Amino acid sequence: MNKKLRKTIIAGNWKMNMLASGIKDFAEELIPLVPGFKAWCDAVVCTPFVLLPSAVKELGGAGIGVGAQNMSQFASGAYTGEVSRAQLEDVGARYVIIGHSERRQFYGETDTSVNQKLLAALETPMTPIVCVGETLEQREAGITYELVALQVKASLLGVSPLQLKRVVIAYEPVWAIGTGKTATPEDAGEVCGAIRDVLAAVYDREAADAVPILYGGSMNEKNAGDLLAQPDIDGGLIGGASLKPASFAAIINAANQ
């Protein structure tokens, strides 16, 4: 982390888990465990669409940001099953995850659709968290850096330097998501550093240094400190550990370095 240049963000991604009836208990357990967290990081929980109002109600008052896990690139219309940026903003979402690897893998999202969704999100006050990362096969083929660079460049097409100030990028090696496998802190830090170099090449070094880059790949309370100690890792996109208040709180507190 480099808190002099950019903010730290610890974002939970609940994926397709949790019920509205359980959010109050979650909040009551989590909030006392992270006193004063706003002094050192932004804490965020990204929930399924149907849980957003409950999450805003129970967590928003404590200063925990609530976000969505996806959004449509279209403003409105005949897109059954989709949720628009205006609808997310209307229920209080402050963040939105775009291009998560599971969306790419299971629902056919591409760099093009990710770019369209990012541009749509930037028309709102929401903070977009754009995900990039390689599969195990791509890593073993030695093309991690080339692939991630392509994803970053393609995702940011048409994004102005001013708009870039509102973007968060999450590096999530697909092979480490939900598997218990984690890139070593050094490996994760090197890829995040490479992402920052891509941003510097496309924009400039000052702009690149201002973009928070999160690591998302089985970060937990045991490894968070070592990962967050890397200079180009500015937080985490947390999966399973974010569903457990004690574990999530430990990660938030690990950002207090």
Cβ count within 10 A of residue 185? 18
**DSSP secondary structure of the chain:** --TTTS--EEEEE--S---HHHHHHHHHHHGGGSTTGGGT-EEEEEE-GGGHHHHHHHHGGGT-EEEES---SSSSSS-TT---HHHHHHTT--EEEES-HHHHHHH---HHHHHHHHHHHTTSSPEEEEEE---HHHHHTT-HHHHHHHHHHHHTTT--HHHHTT-EEEE--GGGSSSS----HHHHHHHHHHHHHHHHHHS-HHHHHTS-EEE-SS--TTTHHHHHTSTT--EEEESGGGGSHHHHHHHHHHT--
123 is catalytic: no
User: 100, 102, 109, 221: which one is catalytic?
Assistant: 100
CA distance 79 to 238: 30
List 102, 109, 134, 172, catalytic entry: 172
Residue 29 annotated to the active site: no
List the catalytic residues. 100, 172
